[in-house]
Amino acid sequence: MIQRNLKALSPGFYPDTYPDVQPSSRPRPIVVAVVSVLLLMATLHCALSVFWLNYSYVDLRLYIAGTAPMPYQGRIGMMPILQAAQNSPRFVDLAKKVDDNRHLRHKRFPFEPISALKLASLIAGTVALLLTTALALFYGLKRFPNFWWLPPTLMLAMLYITEAARYEVTLWYPWDLPHAFLFGAACLLIFEGLWIPVFLVFLIDLPVRETAIFLMPLSFGVAWVRGQHRQAIAVSIAMLGVWIPFRIWILHRYAANLSTEMGLHLGENLHNVVNPSHWPQMLSAFGFLLIPLIMGNRLLKPSQRAFMLAAVPCLIVTSGYGVWAETRIFGEWLLPAAVLATAEIDRLFITRRSATLDLPLAEASRVA
């Protein structure tokens, strides 16, 4: 038993599905309810921190008019929501009341005004983050009975560090949290091998942010490792077949947006690298947990390791076009990263527990 468990720590040993030592009972409903309330409060705190203290980098009035710089204007998924908010007299009046109330309480702080567009972004982002937390909790209860609370906890911790507790690039964008929910949900569907739902979520996420195409290599890698070669090819062709013409239409539709921020940011990123004052902010991506996540890679199933491998070129592309000090550029990866980290912790706990049960009492206490 001990040799078998030690051997299991070596890369490539696990089949894609392996039996786990699971507890005999699920967590009590009262415990789940208490944790859910705490997660609700934490989610609201994180979402409000992103919008309340930070500043919008995009002029949302230009965005809904179709004249904002690229690539921001190409992320048209939030336009209908913001246009509806701006065109609603009641919503505009509500935003004014919220802004007036905040000024009464915080007269000395130069906060960004709460416009109808910002309030709509705040509500949409908060709802999206609440859905992301609920999804992480549901997935934890389903797949990690030992650590069911850990996926949403890790996700919120990483999100707060990368998007709220920042000291350099204190910016918010209306599409970040909605895209993170859609992309994260699709990643969990990839883990489950549900390819048709993955494609449907991809279609919804497509107009929200162009990086929805990252779902293609992730789907292909996981399906291929599982031996689902036809599914891997089919879902990849389908995603590319939709994404390419959509991006061509976007570039044609907003070709007049000459003011653009598309392209590499080599000079700015080089400055960030050579100046040590920027290092803490840059290393805060993934809540400082990216290296531990990579170090525990050997504990994952082959399909999970394939997911991480397929994510590498996506992260490289993001790093090339993003500003490294703006760690929110990796926000879409936080939910799958939290799930993978939980899988590593869960597998390590099970392996150590199995080895402990096979040892004499004195040795078992030393191992534990």
Q: How far from 321 is each of 164, 176, 283, CA to CA, in Å?
A: 22, 16, 17
Q: Distance (Å, rounded) from C-alpha 356 to C-alpha 107?
A: 60
pLDDT at residue number 75: 93
Length in residues, the chain: 368
221-274 residue pLDDT tens: 999 999 999 999 999 999 999 999 999 999 999 988 766 666 677 778 888 888
pTM comes to 0.87
pLDDT at residue number 246: 96
Contact 281, 325 (CB under 8 A): yes
Which of the 8 DSSP states describes residue 331? Answer: G
- Among 216, 348, 328, 320, which residue's Cα sits nearest to residue 262? 320
Domain residues for the domain of 320 are 2-367
pLDDT at residue number 258: 64
Low-confidence ranges of the chain (pLDDT < 50): 1-14, 18-21, 23-24, 359, 361-368
Q: Distance (Å, rounded) from C-alpha 39 to C-alpha 325?
A: 28
Quickly count: other Cβ atoms within 10 Å of residue 273's Cβ.
13
Query: Which two three-digit tokens encode residue 287?
Result: 């809540």
**Number of independent structural domains in the chain:** 1
Contacts of 14 (CB under 8 A, 6+ apart): 8, 300, 301, 302
- Calculate the CA 324 to chain-centre distance: 17
Query: Which three-class secondary structure state does DSSP give residue 56?
Result: strand
Q: How far from 338 is each of 78, 136, 155, 159, CA to CA, in Å?
A: 26, 8, 5, 10
Sign of the dihedral defined by the CA atoms of residues 124, 130, 136, 139, in that order: negative
Q: Distance (Å, rounded) from C-alpha 279 to C-alpha 272?
A: 7
20-35 residue pLDDT tens: 445 446 788 999 999 9
Query: Which two three-digit tokens encode residue 153?
Result: 């906890």
pLDDT at residue number 6: 34
